[in-house]
Amino acid sequence: MSTLLVRNATLLATFDDQGREIPDAGLFVRDGFIEQLGSSSELPSEADEVLDLAGHVLLPGLINTHHHFYQTLTRAIPAAQDANLFDWLVTHYPIWAQMNADDIRISTQIALAELALSGCTTANDHLYMFPNGSRLDDEIEAAQDVGLRLQASRGSMSVGESQGGLPPDSVVENEDLILAESQRLLDSYHQAEAGAMTQIVLAPCSPFSVSQDLMRETAKLARDYGVKLNTHLAETQDEEQYTIENFGMRPVALMESLGWVGDDVWFSHSVHVNEEEVGLYAQSGCGVAHCPSSNMRLASGIAPVLDMLGAGVKVGLGVDGSASNDGSHLLGEARLDAGMRGASLSSEEAPPFMSGRQALQIATRGGAQVLGRDDIGSLEVGKCADFFAIDLNRLDYAGALHDPLAAVVFCAPVRADYTVVGGNFVVKEGQIASMDLPPLIEEHNRAAMRLLEK
């Protein structure tokens, strides 16, 4: 039994159903879960550990619904700086094919450290290439050292260039092996209980890199285990053209034909969807990982998020891989989302524009809904003690203290001073608490240089 008392926060934003924002507030945590929440004066006066957040704003931990951690090794590659998705992928595939298990481990820790410092407490990662003996286990083990909750997606690619796919044959896998590995990972790592630190997601990469058969078999396996399904969908016009030419259908219709719609499915991106497709998402329960930076960087377009929200689609936020962002600052992503004010297809259901609080709602509650978790995403009694806090007394927020929560999303994105997962400090006084970062950065830079030399 261990307890943590957090008190005196200038403002605590719960993101509960009432959207309560409580001044001079805090939390009392027992064994990783919130036992009490409210005004500091109403909380117990003692605990095993006490955190005084005077002068800080306190929010639920942000939830990242889409990432490719390994891409921290290939940021800003010259030949991919000014490319759209397909050319960008073709440039990167041969570089990624050189990665080994150590590269997966180092890049996982770098990406998670960046996320934690941006207020993130739960992250999905989509790993879909396993070159040179690397495995998803390498990522899962590396993540445990950092301390963020991980939704590890076992990705896959099985249709190489010679079969009409986009990736080179050297990076695709045999489908029987993909399914056997997926099952092994589900048996070894997936935790279903409240407060789970590791969950497995099954995630064939995209319509242009896997077969229809693998999509169907993967869905069957995921549903046997009651886990989530994810894939990239409707990201670019090139993809739309590919599915129309190869399958005679738009991307969303293709998914529907494969049984890939439902409450257990979320799609990364969904930039090129029409009103009818947004309606299908709403009706069937499909979620969306919205990745504004990546969509802008690759000139993919802007997802019609306001129509999705208006129609009742679950929308979460994602930084996407670090080679198309090129960072993992989730709070920065929320700021961009609010700054863009959303986009719409101009349907009647769409709200006029996105508010700053709505962008934070997508980054917290929205992400939890997309990942299918009701134990995270808001600060409420009974939920996981996952939160972050920012010191308001800083240059970046000068002049905005009349609305501390708005400062977090409208002012320049800053780093979290405290990030706590299940009552454990991942970031303390602005530093990663669980690891020594400078040698890790050095090692990561060496690995990145090595990949480029080949």
Enumerate binding residues for Zn ion (CB under 5 A): 320
Nearer Cβ to Zn ion (264/320)? 320
Integer Cα distance of 9 and 12 in angstroms = 6
* Minimal distance, residue 239 CB to Zn ion, in Å: 12
CA 382 – CA 35 distance, rounded (Å)? 6
**Shortest spacing between CB 289 and Zn ion, in angstroms:** 8
Cβ proximity to Zn ion: between 114 and 320 the closer is: 320
CB contact set of 391 (below 8 Å; sequence gap of 6+)? 55, 56, 417
Residue 32, CA atoms < 13 Å, CB-side half-sphere: 11
Q: How far is it, in rounded angstroms, from Cα 376 to Cα 179? A: 30
**Considering the complex, what minimum distance in angstroms separates the CB of residue 205 from Zn ion?**
8
Residue nearest to Zn ion (CB): 320
**Pair 43, 35: CB distance under 8 Å:** no
Q: Which is nearer to Zn ion, 217 or 320 (CB)?
A: 320
Looking at the Cβ atoms of 319 and 385, the one nearer to Zn ion is 319
> What's the min distance (Å) between Cβ of 288 and Zn ion?
13
Which residue's CB is nearer to Zn ion, number 158 or number 206? 206
Report the candidate in 259, 237, 125 with the shortest Cα–Cα distance to residue 185.
125
- Residue with smaller CB distance to Zn ion, 175 or 320: 320
C-alpha 326/C-alpha 9 separation (Å) is 32
Closest among 375, 305, 366, 364 to 340, alpha carbons compared: 305
Q: What is the CA radius of gyration of the chain?
A: 21
Nearer to Zn ion, 103 or 320 (CB): 320
Q: What's the closest the beta carbon of residue 291 comes to Zn ion, in angstroms?
A: 7
Q: Where are the beta strands (DSSP E) in 226-326?
A: 229-233, 265-269, 287-290, 314-317
Asked if residue 326 has a cis previous peptide bond (ω within 30° of 0), the answer is yes
State the DSSP code for 203: E
**Cβ closest to Zn ion, residue 37 vs residue 85:** 85
- Helices marked H in 80-211 — which ranges? 85-96, 101-117, 136-146, 175-189
Q: How far is the CB of 66 from Zn ion (least distance, A)?
A: 6
**Minimum distance, C-beta of residue 318 to Zn ion, in the bound complex (Å):** 8
Query: Which of 62, 59, 66, 200 lies closest to 122 in space, CA to CA?
Result: 62
**What is the helix (H) or strand (E) element at residue 220, kind and residue range?**
helix 212-225
* Residue closer to Zn ion, measured from CB, 320 or 391: 320
- In the complex, the smallest distance separating the C-beta of residue 428 from Zn ion, rounded to whole angstroms, is 31
CB 346 to Zn ion: min, Å = 27
